[in-house]
Chains A and B, each alone.
Chain A
Amino acid sequence: MSDQSKLYEVFVRSRRGLDHKHVGSLHADDPEQALEYARDVYTRRGEGVSLWVVAAGDITASQESDCDSFYDPLDDKPYRHAAMYDLPEGIDSL
């Protein structure tokens, strides 16, 4: 790994039909190497069927200080949630 190595965030899709989930990060010289290390580091126990790696620097993240303005106004709008519905039998994820 050279001095230019970058941090990459790793996303794994555990099986078809599900979303890619963030599982961690690693260092690599380029995206191709990051993908191979992601395979070696995060899918050793058969965790996945698909991998994404994203340079951490390319992610724009919300800040702790955004919380009040971003999320609090949603607290009093329960009608936006589907919480009143019972999940039909046989559906695990919605």
Chain B
Amino acid sequence: MTANDSLLTYCLRLGDDALILGHRLSEWTSRAPFLEEDIALTNVALDFIGRARLFYQYAAELQGGDATEDTFAYTRDVRDFTNLLICELPRGDFAFTIARQFLYDSYVLLFMEQLKASKDTRLAAIGAKAEKESTYHVRRGREWMLRLGGGTEESHAKLQRAVDDLWGYTDEIFEVDTVTAGLIADGVAVDPTLLREEWLATVSRVMAEADLSQPSPGWSVEGGRRGIHTDDLGFLLAELQFMQRAYPGLQW
């Protein structure tokens, strides 16, 4: 794999994470528990979709030819998507959405802080923009964790169940394969293994504050980076890609 191919692969992974999670969040639009939260969740969804566009636009330049950001979002099939599995899980109940955001955003914030220092100036610029957004996402997420964890018996139980169900998907976040390893060596990619300790310290602290017990599921799954996904991603893409599949090349 050439350096250009590796960088393209890396951009698509980051773009896929952002697009798929952004789509999951967008599913709350008009369905959130109340109006203010509906708007807040939609804002976060748009942050992620905007982030996906930046990664895909860069990927399109790297690929060359006729590729555009839409090529990657709308014309690839399930096996071509390389997002983390945690991003594609169905939105579940509100506690699940909050728990996923908190676990994932806490990581993404650390990740973007490092991506800012990438030797690749395009990635560094995306990192700088995303860091500001993620700072707010983590703030929001932490408050909701405390609110639900310290709320009613029901909200606490739902949040605990959500964290338990999600924990086995967090190992995958910190995996490094040959593509990432090469880019890390070049100073282009972020080494996620270096972020794990701080991530764990942050989420453990907040879980303790929220009176949650830290899960020890004894299982973990991976595969997203290799295109091995849950059934749910296919249904998500069917909705996301419907228009371009039914009317290829359709323009606004």
Q: Which residues of A does B touch, CB under 8 Å?
A: 1-2, 26-29, 32-33, 36-37, 39-41, 44
**Quick one: closest A residue to B34, CB to CB?**
A1
Residue in contact with B40 in the complex, picked from A2, A29, A36, CB distance below 8 Å: A36
| Cβ–Cβ contact B40 & A1, under 8 A | no
Q: What is the CA–CA distance of A28 and B40 in the complex, to the nearest angstrom? A: 12
| Cβ–Cβ contact A36 & B147, under 8 A | no
Minimum CB–CB distance from A65 to chain B (whole Å) comes to 33
Chain B residues whose CB sits within 8 angstroms of the CB of A28 once the complex forms: 36
Q: What is the CA–CA distance of A41 and B38 in the complex, to the nearest angstrom? A: 10
Query: Is B79's beta carbon under 8 Å from chain A?
Result: no
Residue in contact with B37 in the complex, picked from A1, A2, A32, A44, CB distance below 8 Å: A1
Minimum CB–CB distance from B149 to chain A (whole Å) comes to 14
| A-B contact list, 28 entries, CB within 8 Å | A1-B33, A1-B34, A1-B36, A1-B37, A2-B151, A26-B35, A26-B36, A27-B34, A28-B36, A32-B143, A33-B143, A33-B147, A36-B40, A36-B139, A36-B140, A37-B36, A37-B37, A37-B39, A37-B40, A40-B36, A40-B39, A40-B40, A40-B43, A41-B36, A41-B39, A41-B40, A44-B39, A44-B43
Mark interface residues in B19-44 (1 if CB within 8 Å of A CB, else 0): 00000000000000111110110010
Minimum CB–CB distance from A1 to chain B (whole Å) comes to 5
- Additional A-B contacts beyond A26-B36, A32-B143, A40-B36 (5; CB < 8 A): A26-B35, A28-B36, A36-B139, A41-B36, A41-B40
Interface size of B by Cβ–Cβ distance < 8 Å?
Answer: 14
Mark interface residues in B144-173 (1 if CB within 8 Å of A CB, else 0): 000100010000000000000000000000
Minimum CB–CB distance from A85 to chain B (whole Å) comes to 44
Chain B residues whose CB sits within 8 angstroms of the CB of A26 once the complex forms: 35-36
Minimum CB–CB distance from A48 to chain B (whole Å) comes to 14
Chain B residues whose CB sits within 8 angstroms of the CB of A44 once the complex forms: 39, 43
**Quick one: closest A residue to B152, CB to CB?**
A2
Minimum CB–CB distance from B248 to chain A (whole Å) comes to 33
Minimum CB–CB distance from A55 to chain B (whole Å) comes to 15
**Quick one: closest B residue to A26, CB to CB?**
B36
Chain A residues whose CB sits within 8 angstroms of the CB of B136 once the complex forms: 39
Minimum CB–CB distance from B77 to chain A (whole Å) comes to 34
Q: What is the CA–CA distance of A40 and B140 in the complex, to the nearest angstrom? A: 11
Q: What is the CA–CA distance of A29 and B35 in the complex, to the nearest angstrom? A: 13
Minimum CB–CB distance from A76 to chain B (whole Å) comes to 46
Chain B residues whose CB sits within 8 angstroms of the CB of A36 once the complex forms: 40, 139-140, 143
